[in-house]
Structure 1
Amino acid sequence: MNKVMLIGNVGKEPEIRYVDHGVAVARFSLATTERGYTLQNGTQVPDRTDWHNIVMWRRLAEIVEKYVHKGDKLYVEGRLRYTTYDDKHGKRYSITEVWAENMEMLTPKSVADNKSAADVK
C-alpha cells in the first residue's frame, strides 16, 4: 500500500497549469514540523521541519487555485511518486512528490478571508 497523510502549511503560492484538454495541475510545497523536546538528561532536541512537493490534478487543482494560499494549513492524503531525470550536463536528479487524492483545508475561514483582504489592499 502506498499512502501518505500530511498536515502542514503551504510554503508558497500554488503554481497552477493547464495541460491537455484543459486539465488543471497544481504544484506547491507543504511544510510539516515535528516539535522539539527536552530529553531527561536536559539535552534539547530542536524542531524539525520537512518540505514535501505536492501535486494535485483536475478538480482538486481547481479548488487549490481558488482557495489555497501561502501559509494555509492543509491535510493532504495521497501517494508517493518518485521521478529521476538527467540534466543537460548529465547530472542525475531524484524528485519525490506526493500525488494528492484528498485534501482538507484546516485554516479557519475567517483567517483565510482576512489574509485575502490584506492581499487585495
Structure 2
Amino acid sequence: MAGLPEITIAGTVVADPEIRYTASGAAVANFTVAANDRRFDRDRNEWVDAGATFLRCSIWRQAAENVAETLTKGTRVLVTGVLRQRSYEKDGQTRYAFEVDATEVAVSLKFATAEVKKATRTAGAPAALAGEPDPWGSAPPATATARTTSGFDEPPF
C-alpha cells in the first residue's frame, strides 16, 4: 500500500454494516461513515452544520465480522485506512468515488462508553491467529460486544 494516502476519519455510521463472504470464505464488511463539518456560529449563538462527507468503508476477515457484530446505525467511530479513488461510468459520464480500505475501526468514546471483550476466532484462521503467539507481538483484536473467549488466554503485555 506504499504511496496511497492513509487517513483517519471520525464520524457516524449511517446504516448497519453489510457483511458478505467471498467464495474462499473471507468475510468483508461494508459500511458508510458520515463526517459532519459542524461549527459554532457566534453571531447566531448556535452550532451550524456546514455539510457532510460520506465515505464508503470496507474491512476484511475477522475484523469484518467484529465490525458487523458491533456497529449499528448511529454509532460514532474512528476509522483508519487507505483512501482509494475509483472511477465508473454512469449515463455515459465518468464519475469518481472515494473509498476507505479500513485497517482499524474503533468505537469513539467521545459521547459513549464501551465494554471491550476479546473476540472469538473463526474456523480456518491461520495458526498464528488461532491461539499461537503472534510473531509480531500485536494484541488480538477486540470488539465492544458481548463476544467472549478466544485462543488468547493472556494479555500481550
Q: Same fold (TM over 0.5)?
A: yes
TM-score range, shorter chain: 0.7 to 0.9
Give me the whole-angstrom Cα distance separating, in 1, the residues matched to 2:49 and 2:74: 18
The equivalent position to 1:3 in structure 2, one of 6, 26, 29, is: 6
User: Structure 1, residues 83-117: CA drift from partner, whole Å, max 9, x if none?
Assistant: 11224x5332211101101111124237x88xxxx
Give me the whole-angstrom Cα distance separating, in 2, the residues matched to 1:45 and 1:23: 43
Percent of aligned positions with the same letter in both sequences? 29
Contact 2:67 2:105 (8 Å CA) reproduced? no
- The unaligned stretches of length 5 or more in structure 2 are 116-143, 146-157
**2:9 partner SS:** strand
Q: Which residue of 2 aligns with 1:47?
A: 49
Give me the whole-angstrom Cα distance separating, in 1, the residues matched to 2:114 and 2:104: 19
Q: Which residue of 2 aligns with 1:117?
A: none
Q: Which residue of 2 aligns with 1:116?
A: none
The equivalent position to 1:17 in structure 2, one of 20, 36, 41, is: 20
The equivalent position to 1:82 in structure 2, one of 77, 85, 102, is: 85
Contact 2:30 2:56 (8 Å CA) reproduced? yes
User: Structure 1, residues 7-64: CA drift from partner, whole Å, max 9, x if none?
Assistant: 111000111111131111111111112222236xx37883232211111111221111
Q: Which residue of 1 aligns with 2:93?
A: 91
Whose strand fraction is larger, Structure 1's or Structure 2's? 1
More RCO (CA 8 Å, sep 6+)? 1
**Runs ≥4 residues deviating over 6 A:** none
Give me the whole-angstrom Cα distance separating, in 1, the residues matched to 2:113 and 2:78: 13
- The unaligned stretches of length 5 or more in structure 1 are 114-121
TM-score (norm: length of structure 2): 0.60
Count matched residues: 109
TM-score (norm: length of structure 1): 0.76
Give me the whole-angstrom Cα distance separating, in 1, the residues matched to 2:71 and 2:39: 28
**1:31 partner SS:** strand
Q: Which residue of 2 aligns with 1:29?
A: 32
Q: CA RMSD, aligned part only?
A: 2.4
Larger Cα Rg: Structure 1 or Structure 2? 2
